[in-house]
């Protein structure tokens, strides 16, 4: 289309226009390859802080058998802890993090500019192509340079739709990335900060004011990502912080949030088999499938009498971690079950287990777990739970 609409061999402007498109395409491809090959920067397995006393401020990763450095998070897709993890991108088959954040942002920028230029070329070519007969019959033959065939007009229309879609989609993603870079936050840290603010709003006893430690001002924040040395600046483990904070300000907040999360954990007992499928329409019904959580988090398979520690609640789905049996903990291979142990499962397949308090003799009261729905009336108790407002808890 470009060679017909603005031939590069007939004017210097046409040549420069073609060269600009090739340059943008080359830069987008280069940064895409570098973002993929460089990777986000992975934490070494079995990593420990230099000072053993600092381990109390860090979270431990069972998968990597080591501690998570500040701003590091475990990616279940990469199966490794990632330095300054922002998100996992399926298009580069990697996480976006400390080492490749600049390459990924440049890739978005040049892809948008190239697609925007391609949109202009295709739209102008399409306009001239459909008005070719008008130009020829009104003495404007020099404008009738675009000649369509059936295949070329179909490809032109598809190309316009694809280019416009890329511009809109990547522009939104670029805006989000630039916003996080200017504030020196990742997508995960935005959620941590929101929970920190809400935690203090909800708990009147929490007097300490939360200060995000990594916002150094927009100029300094930009220099941390866009610099000549790229990943060579720093090690991705220690970070400059604002006055009044230290390296573990954010990790202490994460530990406090985890502690509150454990405090509101509820135990459920599986009453019917769960397949672990994303849309269990045959085993759970269409209502459960329609209300499935919009998340790429895994679904877990369960067997009757399995115990699950639940931390998130929805009308038709629960999120929790299956309690491993003694044989699984002992490492018996025949007793090991495939699939994840942590994820979503249909709410109708389990009932809550409450702590029944019995008056004992001697040393006082003793607590024994008992199913919340005894006498075989599990289904009615489940409906009663949903009516009592246990459904919508997202923290």
Count of CB atoms situated within 10 Å of the CB of 75 = 19
Active site (catalytic) residues:
89
CA dihedral 148, 149, 151, 153 (to 10 degrees): 30
| DSSP 8-state class, residue 42 | B
In whole angstroms, what separates CA 373 from the centre of its chain? Answer: 37
Sole residue written with tokens 């067997």: 303
Q: Helix or strand or coil: residue 126? A: helix
At CA 39, angle to CA 163 and CA 233, rounded to 5? 110
In whole angstroms, what separates CA 129 from the centre of its chain? Answer: 43
Contact 83, 61 (CB under 8 A): no
Please enumerate in sequence order all residues whose Cβ is within 8 A of that of 305, keeping only pairs 6 or more positions apart, or say none: 269, 270
Q: How far apart are CA 50 and CA 42, in angstroms?
A: 18
Give me 149's structure tokens: 């065939």
Contact 284, 347 (CB under 8 A): no
Half-sphere exposure at residue 211, Cβ-oriented, CA atoms within 13 angstroms: 10
Q: What residues does 346 pair with on adjacent strands?
A: 317
Residue 199 to residues 213, 249, 392, Cα–Cα distance (Å): 17, 15, 17
With CA atoms as reference, report the closest residue to 126 among 105, 148, 109, 108: 148
């Amino acid at each position: 289309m470009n060679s017909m609409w603005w031939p590069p061999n007939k004017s210097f402007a046409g040549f420069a226009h073609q060269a600009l498109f090739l340059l943008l395409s080359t830069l987008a491809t280069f940064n895409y390859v570098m973002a993929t090959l460089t990777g986000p920067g992975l934490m070494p397995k079995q990593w420990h802080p230099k000072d053993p006393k600092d381990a109390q401020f860090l979270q431990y990763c069972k998968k990597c058998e080591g501690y998570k450095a500040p701003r590091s998070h475990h990616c279940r897709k990469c199966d490794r802890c990632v330095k300054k993890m922002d998100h996992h991108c399926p298009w580069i088959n990697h996480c976006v993090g400390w080492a490749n954040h600049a390459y990924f942002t440049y890739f978005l920028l040049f892809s948008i500019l190239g697609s925007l230029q391609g949109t202009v070329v295709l739209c102008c070519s399409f306009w001239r192509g459909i008005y070719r007969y008008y130009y020829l019959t009104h003495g404007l033959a020099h404008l009738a340079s675009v000649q369509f065939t059936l295949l070329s007009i179909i490809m032109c229309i598809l190309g316009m739709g694809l280019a416009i879609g890329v511009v809109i989609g990547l522009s939104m993603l670029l805006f989000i990335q630039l916003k996080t870079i200017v504030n020196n936050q990742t997508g995960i840290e935005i959620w941590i900060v929101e929970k920190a603010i809400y935690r203090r709003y909800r708990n009147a006893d929490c007097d300490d004011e939360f200060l995000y430690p990594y916002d150094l001002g927009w100029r300094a924040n930009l220099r941390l990502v866009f610099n000549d040395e790229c990943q060579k600046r720093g090690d991705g483990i220690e970070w400059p912080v604002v006055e009044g904070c230290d390296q573990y300000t954010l990790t202490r907040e994460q530990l406090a949030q985890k502690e509150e999360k454990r405090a509101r954990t509820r135990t459920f007992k599986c009453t019917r088999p769960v397949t672990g499928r994303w849309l269990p329409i045959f085993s759970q019904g269409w209502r459960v499938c329609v209300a499935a959580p919009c998340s790429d988090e895994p679904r877990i398979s369960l067997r009757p009498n399995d115990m699950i520690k639940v931390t998130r609640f929805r009308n038709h789905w629960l999120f929790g971690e299956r309690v491993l049996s003694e044989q699984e903990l002992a490492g018996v291979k025949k007793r090991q079950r495939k699939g994840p142990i942590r994820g979503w499962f249909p709410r109708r397949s389990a009932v809550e287990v409450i702590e029944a308090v019995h008056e004992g003799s001697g040393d006082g009261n003793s607590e024994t777990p008992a199913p919340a729905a005894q006498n075989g009336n599990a289904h009615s108790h489940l409906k009663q739970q949903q009516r009592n407002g246990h459904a919508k808890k997202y923290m």
